Structure 1
Amino acid sequence: MSVLSGKKIVLGISGGIAAYKTATLVRLFIKAGAQVQVVMTPASKDFVTPLTLSTLSKNPVHSTFYNEEDENAVWNNHVEIGLWADLMIIAPATANTLSKMVNGNCDNLLLATYLSAKCSVYFAPAMDLDMYKHPSTIASFKALQSYGNIMIPAESGELASGLSGEGRMAEPENIIQFMEHDIAQKLPLKGKKILITAGPTYEAIDPVRFIGNHSSGKMGYDIANEAAHLGAEVVLISGPSHLKVAHNSIKVVAVVSAEEMYQACHLYFENTDVAIAAAAVADYRPKNVASQKIKKTESSFNIELEKTKDILASLGQLKKNQFLIGFALETENEIENAKLKIKKKYLDLIVLNSLQDQGAGFGTSTNKVTFIDRNNTIEPKDLKSKKEVAQDILNKVIAFYND
């Protein structure tokens, strides 16, 4: 999955011949999973039509502050567009538009949107060879980059004038690649390896029956997906679940029993930076597993159980520099029991769920948690979606590495 997936992108188009490439650029943004709004300078409409771009982006294209032909029209709010964006790119960025960006000359909707944007802004210059090398243009490049804007260098090749040299706007595929690489390098968990457990375990009674629980795995899967979006390399060790991951940086290791999960965790833990144990692992398993289906012959039936291995405690004993996070699902004496687990299992952080809280626990799309760290700092959270809880957990990881 592209790091552009889910991003809201404003594409600003100024009046140069390279504007014809923006149809392909919009298509590639959409293909990468982004949402796109297009803002054009009036001059750019001579090179590519708003109809083409609105069809490809599935959004109206804006080029003026209001519709002069409709006296009742609502104005195009440049502030709203600028604040909507996660990313903005101006392509092509002509010498004229670059100069206006540097000096805050706000005479069209595109420039007003640029000045209102709070997100990262990329610009892809496009002009003839001599214009590209002119001292004033070079000064514009330097000034814009000093403001925090990101330049996508022009490429060399045949130019509209017939000359050949530097000044061609980067090809749409190369713009996408540049942006993806730039964003990926800045992700807060880039280079981190995170081990996550998720879902239930099934402990066999016979070939067709098992002891299990109601965990869907959603909490662990949401953590895995969010960690990957933040740049981490993720190993997700999952018990039986119908859920799927949404990122190609996640390696899924499917297991069934607590013993299989124990072995998988120990296989990957040594080379892990962070381990998050979100799985609902069975505490007990049948001591003897029948090789054939047990027949219903008696009015009562007893199963002798034995303890499973404590995966989290075993990882805590092996911990070197890993940041170790556990979960606790409690029904009584929640805080006290969670604090005991932190100490007993050598945790850095525990995520406490209480079945007393409505909307928390198994089988829901929401969770209400309390964070308790190894210093016994208690931080209760409001009821949130599990995706938002995952983000809160990973913010704790980011904060740990930024301290």
Structure 2
Amino acid sequence: MLSYWEQQSFINYDHIVIGSGIVGLSTAIELKVKYPKSSVLVLERSLLPTGASSRNAGFACMGSLTELLDDLQYSSEQDVVALYDLRRRGLLKLRERLGDDRMGYKANGSYELLNEHELEALDRLDAINALLKDITGQSAFSLANEKIGKFGFSKEYTKALIQNNCEGELHTGKMLRALIDYAMMVGVEIKTGACVQRFYEHAAQVDVVLNDVVRGELILCAGKLFICTNAFTKQLLPGEDVVPGRGQVLITEPIKDLRFKGVYHFDKGYYYFREIDGRVLFGGGRNKDFTRETTTDIELNDLIQDDLAQKLAEIILPDTPFAIEHRWSGIMAFGANKQPIVKHVSENIYGAFRMGGMGVAIGSEVAAQLVSLLP
């Protein structure tokens, strides 16, 4: 039961966005920029963003050398370059919007560890640099073998070290906090704990059905609805090509005299680690157990967590004692290819999802593309 006042002031919006991750918040911001006088509401099913936006490793990723080479086996050069440029433009938009200081953005270096079975990738390094040169304006990758010993990595595993000259790092919590603050500053309304059950489209509006803990079923009305739920999209749009992919993460206690800073990848980007606050944050390993990691359940996978701990000891910190302080997981979204889905779903419904594990990089630009679809 709603009061007259509630019906008048809290039910009808020009635009409703489902999902308060990077894409959802950026979409709401883009809507307020394009339509300053419109009412924009963001709905988030949990008290905090649930998928990957607040649970990632804080990489400002462009793609590692072996990852790009792997992409070229399944995609055209044109598609690979276009996606790389989308990441570049997305990161630039995010940095310009929030400012580096507010989101803890730093350029402490980005590197990829190659093992003996991956050394043939070095033969393609110059070709990849040439392919990306018009976008980067510099060599995207360079050899940095002299730093292997300095960083303390296993020389038995690490046979080459590639520096990625176009990547950076950020503080995920600060970034998302700053994005929320920015959205509220421009007049976006955000409701958390608002779990959307379903929606019904009419000629001139969309009814969005939520479960309210006090009122029971509650219906909000939107002129246009934007679905920005990434890995959880099939719950609302079951026909979309979206496959969830869970990512496992751990972080150590502070390590005295840690020998490296920056961000790092190995095994075609399936593993990634970084220094943060004198600790090592290490994640990935989804390729060890694709079956169990194809899920939207935010849980730990003991097989992968044990694998991460082992690789941390044997590859990253072979001569350094450490203790693991905390573990968690986040949910990414994948599909038949790495291109994000940005579409006009129906007359009053739009969607942007399936970020392919690159939401930090591409989310801001994807949101701009989504809003540009409006007539």
TM over 0.5: no
Rg bigger for which structure?
1
Structure holding more strand per residue: 2
If the length of structure 1 is used for normalisation, what is the TM-score?
0.23
